[in-house]
Structure formats: C-alpha cells, structure tokens
Amino acid sequence: MTGSPTESRPSKILKTQDHNDQDKEDKQLQDLSMSKNPRIQRYLAAIEYIGTRFSGSQEQPNCRTVVGVLEEAFHKFIGQPVSIFCSSRTDAGVHALSNVCHVDVERISKRKPGEVLPPHEPAVVRRAVNHFLQKNEGDISVIDVRCVPNDFHARFKAQERTYFYRLVSGSEPLSTFEKERAWHVPEKLDLYAMQEACKVLVGHHDFSSFRAAGCQANSPIRTLDELHVCEVPATPYFPSITEREQNNSSLKDSLTCSVKPEVGLPINSFSNTEDMVDTNNGKSNLEEFGIRRRHRSYMVTARARSFLYHQVRLLVGVLKCVATGELMTSDVERILNAKTVTAASPMAPACGLYLGRVKYDLP
C-alpha cells in the first residue's frame, strides 16, 4: 500500500529553534576562548593543505596534524608556544583550499626578553610562517592573514562553509596525478539524475540519515543552502592538438566576424572521448599511442552554515548511487525521511572532499 504524498515528502522543520540553540552554545564557547590580555594580537589565517598527508586537522598524540604543524611553525617564528583554533575540523584525507584558523600572538623581543613590541603586520606573519612550513613537507601553506579583535573566533564567527567533492568517471585507471585527489567511479554517471536528487536534499531538514556515529552536534537539523552537481574539465587539463586547432580556428573566425571570441571549449570537447569511437577496431578518434584517455569529471558543491559529522561524504555517497542507477530519486526521499544513518548509502571516501571556503563578516 503506497503512502500519501504528504507522507513521502521530506518533513519541514522550523529554523528558529535550531539556530537559537546553536547560537547560545557558540556564545558560551566563544566567551571562554576570548583573550583577556590587551597586549596580544589575534590573527585570522586562511590555510590550504593536502589532506592525505595529515591525520586530520585537530591535534592528536603521536600523529601529524594540521594544527600541530601550524603551531610548530608559529612557535619557531615567535619563539613561544601558541594555540591554533580552526573554523572547521577536517578528517584524515580531506583537503582544504581555504580552511581558517585564529591564533593569539604576543610579540616579545628576542634581544630584550620581557620587552613587548608592536604586533607584526599580517604580511610578515604570512611570509614568516610559510618559510617554516615550506622547510617541512611543503604540503600546507598560509594563503591569507588578517588582524581581528580578540573576541573574533574562527569557528563561531563563520557565517557559512562551502565544500567541494570531486568525482571522476571512466573505465581507465586513475591517473597518477589524480591519486588521492578524487573519487574514481568506473561506471558512467548520470548527471541529470544527480541534479534531480539534489533538489530533494537541499533545504532545511532533519539530516539524521546523513549524520555519522560520533557526531557531537546537539541537533541533526541543518539548512543546506546549496547542493549542486556539474561537469567540469578533467584535471590537470592539457589540450590535444585537435582542441588547439579548434581553438585557433574559433579565434580566427571571431576576428573576421568581429564577434567576441569564445575561448572556452564545450564540455564535450575535453571529456567525452569515450563516446567518440570509429569502426577502426573500436578505437577513439582522439586516441593516440602514449596519450591517456580522459575521465569525465564532476564537482559536487555543498554550502551551509554548518555541517554534521561526515554529512557531505554521506550525501555524495547517495548521489553516486543515484548516478549509477542503484537508487532512484524516490529512494533519496525515503532515506532522508528514515532519519537513521543505516538507511544511507556507503560514505564517499575522504580523498575527494575539499573545504573550499569559510565566509565571514569581517570587521
């Protein structure tokens, strides 16, 4: 017996209750972390790193972590220990294009111990810390630094976070340059099916089905402001001779027609080589000896104020199953309404996930 439309539709959740509870908790923790020393300068630093080189972002005993490496570099720079607080915790294997942290620094003269000096300029902090980071493994760097008030907390002041997830599809083995940078799915992926599934998941829901065990959040209710999938150029992208000739031809045509040139090639020109097959032993028209056949590459974007533990990877796991035909859009509604993680598909691996941006209203 089939249920009514209202039974199958994801339930609506009031936003205000969840946000008020979260704001109260954030305010209490923020007050505890506020520096009381007026001589201390708080810096906000954006960092990028290769996640597969670390055992996560948070400090752990006997493990190489993002926070541990940063604290070591700052210690070498200013000559005294510091504590780093990240905006977002990332697991082992998860990369960051821009994670953000804050650190309190009291600049004391090395020549005259005890003498407090004016704070370093942000550009000086960036160069100095990167100097020590690059002396190490070179798999993490500071991309931006800014001075902020002493009550500005990298985690609790964040207004939204954006994650990207990279999927590559194709029967060819994954390129050496893509190892541990994306999730390789041998099957063909149905882009339209993934986009339809995103429509079910975006919005304000109880995401208990996309919340891994061990999640410390008080509530499973979250507002997913954006969940989007698109096809993107394969990375790294090196144009073939045919594509270079096409590009040159389009530029010449645009000059004779006085039309603005369209330098960018369509997606099909750089990712659809598997479909371009002639009758010559089933070989691709673009296939040459010594030239790797490209995969199709897809990007999932997830944007929200905050996420549950493993939420993005669980969402991508379901989208992948929809794309391969293992699940239908109606199954996504069923999983969301089940409100238990046991209903979800296997979680996507960490290596394809990137923390892309943390947004603030900076003073």
- Kindly list the catalytic residues: 91
Backbone angles phi, psi at 9, to 5 degrees: -75, 135
- 221-232/296-304 β-pairing: antiparallel
- Distance in angstroms between the alpha carbons of the first and the last residue of the chain: 57
| Beta strands per DSSP E along the chain | 41-49, 84-86, 95-105, 140-148, 160-169, 183-185, 203-206, 221-232, 296-304, 353-359
The DSSP string of 150-212 is TT--TTTT--EEEEEEEEEE-SSPPPGGGTTTSEEE-S---HHHHHHHHHHHSEEEE-GGG--
| 181/165 Cα distance (integer angstroms) | 10
Q: Which residues contact 32 (CB under 8 A, 6 or more apart)?
A: none
Cα–Cα distance for residue pair 169/119, rounded to 1 Å:
50
